[in-house]
Amino acid sequence: MTLCALQPTQGYKAFKGPVVTVIMDGVGLGTEDERDGVFVANTPILDRFLREPLMVKLKAHGTAVGLPSEGDMGNSEVGHNALGAGRIFAQGAQLVNDALASGSVFQGAAWGELSKRGLSGHTLHFIGLLSDGNVHSNIKQLFLLLDRCAKDMLPKVRLHILLDGRDVDQKSGLQYIAALEEKLASFDSALDYRIASGGGRMITTMDRYNANWSVVERGWKAHVLGVGRQFSSAAEAVQTYYDEDAEMTDQYMESFVVVDGVGPVGTIGDGDGVVYFNFRGDRAIQISQAFEDDDFSAFDRVRRPDAFYVGIMQYDGDAMIPKQFLVQPPAIDKTLGEYLCATKVSSYAISETQKFGHVTYFWNGNKSGYIDEAYEKYEEVLSDKIAFDLKPWMKAGEITDKVIDAVGAGEYKFIRLNFPNGDMVGHTGDVAAIRVAVETVDICLKRIERAVKKAGGVLVVTADHGNADCMWSMKNDKRNPMVAHTLNPVPFVVKDYSNANDFELNVIERPGLANVAATLCCLLGLEPPADYEPSLVKLRK
């Protein structure tokens, strides 16, 4: 559908400079005590911004971003969907929950083919993140899928589990494995259901944005080929890794393969069915390509089984990855990017590899590539392949350099960027590194603010969800690193250096990330689409 151009706002005075939106990934507004990495960091620029008259706290979790409940943490994907779409769409977790509750997930051709293969003697494999973090997956959804396998008496199922330790406690893998083993033991003894392989999510299978294909290769070897360190059970593997390295956490655990007296218990072969049960797309695409692509050169697959591969959702609708899926993804249309292109507003989007897809693909409603290259430029700064706590400044300096150049060039009216530091380093739980990460972003804010002020533009500063704002929690009188996202609100600040218009806050009862798109329209002098959530600011009368 071709969108109509947005209409100009009456009484708005145009100005030369750009509207620059900075997304401080993972920087929420927390408890303002020693646990709060944003509060304890030295951030004079952010501190000043939080006292600005055009500052409001935004809800960035739960139903405000399309998740099932108020207890669900926001994440970068749903956050950027809301920021770019201006409306709230039911997201992966809720869509899968609904499909499982209604049974529609089992009524399509994809599940029919999986069931057919299982009943004909082939193995049905499930690959995915074993946790209840509800960011990439949910163990309850996996259990419902297994229940259906057992109900249909599919004789042989194998589980290839990825340990979390990122959206849940750092060392919680054993409790999820115990729950899964208990579930498997509850089925008819005639059914052969077992865990076959696994590994930590950050080094096994779940790479994203082509950052490090060796992660996917490691998973391929364990899940498909049965190549990896061997153990008699998943629990033995995890406990052994813990015992060998007291600092080992689940997300960085080496891959493992479960074996019996014959060998690996669950390699993937010709005729088998494979379900990737993560609902979030970014860390599902590359493993899907490894199974599906005929022309594949990222690593030597050794052998590619003639298996029927299915995602619980389609992770990239434009590229059709994967080709077969169980649940329809959210249909996000009429994004801010589409409207700006229709209105011939030039824009520039940039981040480093870790979040580049967020200011492009997710911002644009889960759509790959340019909307209209005549009015857009996307730029990716390649991320380093190093643990984030060892280089917490990441590529923030390089991103800032390019943004300042873009502001100075005067070619773009709308600029958006993402600093991944607060989120990626926040996930490590390293207190010193988190402080450095947040302070790095603050230094970069100072530089960008100067450039916007010089150009006579408008600076917008916000975030997509919390993370760095809670570094640890207390349990049994002991500090435990908090590596998951938070339920805290995020800041939204407008700093107007154009001296052209007089904006004031709009009174909104429960402002959230979905209100940002209309706000950006107003700052650009455009009437927001009628179905967008209302703007956070308005022209003073």
Half-sphere exposure of 259 (CA within 13 A, CB side): 14
Q: By three-state DSSP, how is residue 382 classified?
A: coil
Which residue, among 302, 310, 324, has the nearest Cα to 273 in the 3D structure? 310
How far apart CA 267 and CA 419 sit, in angstroms, is 40
Strands across the sheet containing 490-496: 55-58, 490-496, 458-462, 19-24, 414-419, 347-352, 376-381
- Residue 459 has which token pair? 């600076």
Residue 55: phi and psi, rounded to 5, are: -130, 135
How far apart CA 186 and CA 279 sit, in angstroms, is 26
List the catalytic residue out of 76, 115, 351, 535: 76
In terms of Cβ atoms closer than 10 Å to its own Cβ (0-12, 13-18, 19+), residue 11 is exposed
Task: Find where tokens 């590359």 sit.
Answer: 286
- Residue 460 has which token pair? 């917008």
Question: Under a CB-based contact definition with an 8 Å cutoff, are residues 431 and 37 in contact?
Answer: yes
The CA-to-CA distance between both ends of the chain, in Å, stands at 36
Quick check: is 76 catalytic? Answer: yes
In terms of Cβ atoms closer than 10 Å to its own Cβ (0-12, 13-18, 19+), residue 499 is exposed
Question: Under a CB-based contact definition with an 8 Å cutoff, are residues 357 and 208 in contact?
Answer: yes
Residue 310: phi and psi, rounded to 5, are: -135, 135
How far apart CA 159 and CA 336 sit, in angstroms, is 40
In terms of Cβ atoms closer than 10 Å to its own Cβ (0-12, 13-18, 19+), residue 183 is middle
**Distances 174 to 143, 235, 241, 432 between C-alpha atoms, Å:** 17, 6, 12, 28
How far apart CA 310 and CA 111 sit, in angstroms, is 9
Q: Which residues are catalytic?
A: 76
